[in-house]
Structure 1
Amino acid sequence: MTTGSQRTRTVLHLPCLGPDAVPLERAVAAVLGYARGRRWLRFRSPGRPEGRWVRVPAFGWARFDAHPPSTGPDADVLIAEGLHGRLDRTGWHAVHDALVGLAPVVEAVGARAAGRPFWELPADEFSVLDEPGTVGALLRHLGQEAGPHPAHVLAALHHRHPDLVPHLTPTTRRALLPHVEEGDSGVEAVVHRELRANAGAFAELEAAVAAVVGDARPGRLRLHDVLLWLTTTLRLAHAVELGEHVAG
């Protein structure tokens, strides 16, 4: 367990979040706020037509991160809806069909990784110079063939393969694009670089988050995703405030 003084000295250098380093304690507070923060919602029902105020989770942690692994594509779609919202009938079938159709590609990613998590793969796996067949090329193919609801598809795939398939949305993908370097196979290469460059800090972040939330143990791919999404959607300061309030 990291002491308070040690945690203060540890920082994450994540250019996709901005030029300033993120202290580990701030990252922990942000994830804790994402996991435990609540907001007010005005709720009306047939029994209470005048409505009443209720406090509901502010973010998707309970419906996604704390949800147990799924057992098939039907459950995968439901988990993805827990993070990105309900789909209409057409959208539901589009995501379901995409998950079924992409299953061989996901299997190929796992075979190529050979048991190694995303952040332990060599940089060559995310270089166009070593394509075809690399993990980076296969992940790019997943994004390209995810259909009209790519965030739902990638959320489901990440939930099933949390150490191998990054969860990307149009918002976070746009934030990563300016950091793509020549020769990169895609934005996944940016995530890979940042995880490799901050390996020790992310290991501490994983342990610290698991110790304070208790109901889930998100890996560093998901932690990177949460921090990036909170930053790009201007919710980071609010999540940190919620997390500090919960911790206090």
Structure 2
Amino acid sequence: MATRTQDTEVILRLPCLGPEPVPLTQATSAVVGYARARRWLRFRSPGTPEGRWVEVPAFGWARFDARPASAGLDADVLLAEGLHGRLDQAGWHAVHDTLAGIRALVDALVARAGGRPFWELPDEELSVLGEPGTVGAYLRRIGQDSGAHSAHVLAALHHRHPELVPHLTRTTRRALLSHLEEGDSGVDAVVHRDLQANADAFAALEDAVAAATGDARPTRLRLHDVLLWLSTTLRLAHAVAAGDRLLSAAGDPGCRS
């Protein structure tokens, strides 16, 4: 059940973000800020060699979350670049080859989940006590086999399987390590506990974000990732402030309830 404060406001309790609960309104603002905030970039081109200032999206929402599902490995790599930046030629081929090489593992993961979203899996699927052949074991193998560009690989896999494959980077993985419990198959188990403990609150966050943005409906697995990344990279306050301004300007009371 969603946790509520005395004034009935829904809150999320996410230890990986800190000891204080996160109100739904703040979480919504953070994700809306991630989706819509912009920053200035100095741009030079042959037509304007003197350069000019342009506003570009501050984060990866438009290049990743709002993009349709990919239709092949090449598109998978391009989506991952939209979130994590361009790869050189060697890196591009490495990610492409890695995605091809772990296809059997991903197929086994999907088969094991049996259509269940990550947050509805039983605890045994993320415990070493149930191995081998669990979802947690497959996710650990995929992470181990993702190579030097694991963030790009996991971004591509998450976009293709948004309800099943957590998106983790070196930064967010490190933040989850201190929350591991005995018997966990990996840090994915920490994400699983957070999503189960805040099921109703994340469902409300999914609805609020989709209503406020209109161009994407990321699953709670991605929303957890966005909140964790913003927090661990010290961008949370900026995203919340930007989201507050945008929601206030839009006058959208539905996202503030």
TM range (shorter): over 0.9
What is the CA-CA distance between 1:44 and the residue it aligns to?
1.4
Residues 77-226 of structure 1: matches in 2 within 5 Å? 77-226=77-226
Identity %: 73
Q: 1:7 to 1:141 in 2, by over 3 A?
A: farther
Distance in 1 between the 2:242 and 2:154 partners?
Answer: 27
Q: Deviations over 1:188-209 (max 9, x none)?
A: 0000000000000000000000
Q: 1:7 to 1:29 in 2, by over 3 A?
A: farther
Q: 1:237 to 1:38 in 2, by over 3 A?
A: same
Counterpart code for 1:202 = F
Structure 1 residue runs of 4+, over 4 Å off?
5-8
Distance in 2 between the 1:7 and 1:181 partners?
Answer: 33
Q: What secondary structure does 1:56 align onto?
A: strand
What is the CA-CA distance between 1:47 and the residue it aligns to?
1.4
What is the CA-CA distance between 1:7 and the residue it aligns to?
9.6
Q: Deviations over 1:13-61 (max 9, x none)?
A: 0000000000000000000000000001111112112211111000000
Counterpart code for 1:57 = P
Distance in 2 between the 1:106 and 1:11 partners?
Answer: 34
**Can you give the 5+ residue segments of structure 1 that lack an aligned partner in the other structure?**
none
8 Å Cα contact 1:8-1:24 kept in structure 2: no
Q: Deviations over 1:101-139 (max 9, x none)?
A: 111111111111111000000000011011000000000
**TM-score between both structures, scaled by the size of structure 1:** 0.97
Q: 1:240 to 1:194 in 2, by over 3 A?
A: same
Distance in 2 between the 1:7 and 1:147 partners?
Answer: 48
For 2:254, the equivalent position in structure 1 comes to none
Q: Does 2:10 align with 1:10? A: yes
Counterpart code for 2:71 = T
Q: What secondary structure does 2:25 align onto?
A: helix
What is the CA-CA distance between 1:6 and the residue it aligns to?
11
**Can you give the 5+ residue segments of structure 2 that lack an aligned partner in the other structure?**
249-257
Q: Deviations over 1:120-175 (max 9, x none)?
A: 00000011011000000000001000011000000000000000000000000000
Counterpart code for 1:181 = E
Distance in 1 between the 2:112 and 2:62 partners?
Answer: 32
Distance in 1 between the 2:209 and 2:92 partners?
Answer: 32
Distance in 1 between the 2:166 and 2:49 partners?
Answer: 43
Distance in 2 between the 1:38 and 1:142 partners?
Answer: 34
8 Å Cα contact 1:7-1:24 kept in structure 2: no
Counterpart code for 2:69 = P
